[in-house]
Each structure stands twice: as structure tokens, then as C-alpha cells.
């Protein structure tokens, strides 16, 4: 059986040391004059579109103003992100370089993809800072595709069909992520979920959401590969 393996970015593949949050704050302040209640807001598992709508709505910015300036926001965000990533703090998480190599080496059985709340330019900049090649991911679903993460798995499956001619379904689709939102987003498609406690949720917190497989980190590369491809 083939696999469509969809990796989340922040907390799963890499850690930017807060560069993403700093860049969003700067871009929102510049484009809208406010970043809303950003200090009390959890970014984990949320799409970039959702983050902007939540924070700006909470600050009283009308929806049509949010939408009208969204292109400017994301253009400024990527520019600030590249600047913030320049602090050199971004790292691939433990085991990730080897795990990606091994999933890719199983090419007969696996299509490597991204399923992330990041917009494509943000994902590309973060991966590049972590020295992970963006173009190795053949399929992607992003925060710019929909504000609601639960809508992204179907986008990824559709793009995988267009690029490979293969219709992946149910447990052939593997979602790998670090938050409850990653575990739940593919529920309606019956996907396999692999959770990892390298982001802002503990192993115990993730266990409550019953992923199919759960890891402290992907340093256990062989076990992770087995869970993904089994
Ligand atoms: Mg994440």
C-alpha cells in the first residue's frame, strides 16, 4: 500500500525559537496598526489565516478591512520572517533529517508532503532556515488554502491526485503533527495520525486525543518510520 505522508512544520519538523510569532506581530502592527491580544494567544495548530483573523477581530478590526489588507500583511510577514529567522535560532527537530531521508527513500511506497497552517512563503523560509529543502515535499496544503485546518487534508489529497494520478484514502493518508488540531484535522477522512511531543503539547496532552501513534520525539527514527509506513 502506498502512503501520502503529510508533515506539519512548526513543532514537528522544526523550531524557529519564536521567529514566526515575532514576524506576525510586526507585520500586523505595520499593516493594521495593532497585533491584538498577541501575548495571550496560542499559535499552535492554527493556520496563519486563522491567527490573523482571531487577533485582528479581537482588536476590533472589521472583517472587510482584514480581508482587504491581507495580501499586504502576508507580503510584510514573509519579509519580517526572513529577517527574524536570521538570528540563527531555527533548528530541525531531533531525528527529522534522517526520518525525511528514510521516508523519501521509501519512494515506491510514500509521497512526501506538507500539511501546515503556514502560508507557502512562510513554510519555505522556515524550512530553509532549518536546512530542510522545501522542494522535496511533492504536495502541500497551506494556511492560505483555508483558515480552518480541518479543510486542509482534502486539499492535500486532491493535489496528490493531480500530481501522482493516485487517489489516496483513509489509512493511506498519514498526518504527522504536534498538536490536537493535527490529530483531529483528518478525522472525517479516516486518516492515520502520528503525533510527536516536540512542540508545545506534552505526550500526556496529545494522548488524550488518541493519535494512532505517539512519540516523545522522532529520535526513535526506526520506530517512527515503521509507524508511518506500516
Ligand atoms: Mg505544529
Per-residue pLDDT of the chain (230 residues; tens, 9 = 90+): 799 999 999 999 999 999 999 999 999 999 999 999 999 999 999 999 999 999 999 999 999 999 999 999 999 999 999 999 999 999 999 999 999 999 998 877 889 999 999 999 999 999 999 999 999 999 999 999 999 999 999 999 999 999 999 999 999 999 999 999 999 999 999 999 999 999 999 999 999 999 999 999 999 999 999 999 98
Q: Rounded CA gap, 46 and 180, in Å?
A: 10
Q: How far is the CA of 105 from the centre of ligand 1 (A)?
A: 24
Give Cβ neighbours of residue 92 (< 8 Å, ≥ 6 apart): 13, 14, 130, 131, 132
**Span from the CA of 106 to the centroid of ligand 1 (angstroms):** 24
- Say how many Å lie between the CA of residue 14 and the centre of ligand 1: 9
Smallest CA-to-CA distance from 103 within 127, 137, 131, 128 is with 137
Residue 86 CA to ligand 1 centre (angstroms): 21
CA 50–ligand 1 middle distance (angstroms): 14
CB 86 within 8 A of CB 62: no
How far CA 203 is from CA of 59, 92, 178, 214, in Å, comes to 34, 19, 9, 7
Q: Measured in angstroms, how far is the CA atom of residue 18 from the centroid of ligand 1?
A: 13
Q: Cα–Cα distance between 96 and 127 in angstroms, integer?
A: 12
Measure 162 CA to ligand 1 centroid, in angstroms: 26
| Structural contact between residues 10 and 199, judged by C-beta atoms closer than 8 angstroms | yes
Q: How far is the CA of 178 from the centre of ligand 1 (A)?
A: 5
Shortest CA distance to 145 belongs to which of 170, 161, 123, 166?
A: 123
Amino acid at each position: 500500500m502506498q502512503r501520502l505522508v503529510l508533515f506539519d512544520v512548526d513543532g514537528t519538523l522544526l523550531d524557529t525559537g519564536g521567529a514566526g510569532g515575532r514576524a506576525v506581530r510586526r507585520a500586523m502592527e505595520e499593516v493594521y496598526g495593532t497585533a491584538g491580544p498577541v501575548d495571550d494567544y496560542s499559535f499552535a495548530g492554527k493556520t496563519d489565516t486563522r491567527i490573523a483573523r482571531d487577533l485582528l477581530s479581537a482588536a476590533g478590526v472589521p472583517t472587510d478591512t482584514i480581508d482587504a489588507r491581507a495580501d499586504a500583511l502576508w507580503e510584510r510577514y514573509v519579509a519580517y520572517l526572513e529577517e527574524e529567522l536570521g538570528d540563527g535560532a531555527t533548528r530541525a527537530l531531533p531525528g527529522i533529517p534522517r526520518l525525511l531521508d528514510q521516508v523519501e527513500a521509501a519512494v515506491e511506497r510514500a509521497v512526501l508532503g506538507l500539511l501546515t497552517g503556514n502560508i507557502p512563503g512562510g513554510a519555505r523560509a522556515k524550512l530553509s532556515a532549518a536546512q530542510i529543502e522545501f522542494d522535496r515535499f511533492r504536495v502541500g496544503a497551506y494556511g492560505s488554502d483555508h483558515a480552518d485546518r480541518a479543510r486542509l487534508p482534502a486539499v492535500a489529497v486532491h493535489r496528490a491526485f493531480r500530481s501522482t494520478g493516485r487517489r489516496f484514502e483513509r489509512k493511506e493518508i498519514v498526518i504527522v503533527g504536534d498538536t490536537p488540531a493535527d490529530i483531529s484535522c483528518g478525522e472525517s477522512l479516516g486518516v492515520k495520525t502520528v503525533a510527536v511531543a516536540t512542540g508545545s503539547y506534552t505526550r500526556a496532552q496529545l494522548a488524550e486525543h488518541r493519535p494512532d501513534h505517539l512519540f516523545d520525539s522522532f529520535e526513535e527514527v526506526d520506530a517512527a518510520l515503521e509507524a508511518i509506513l506500516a
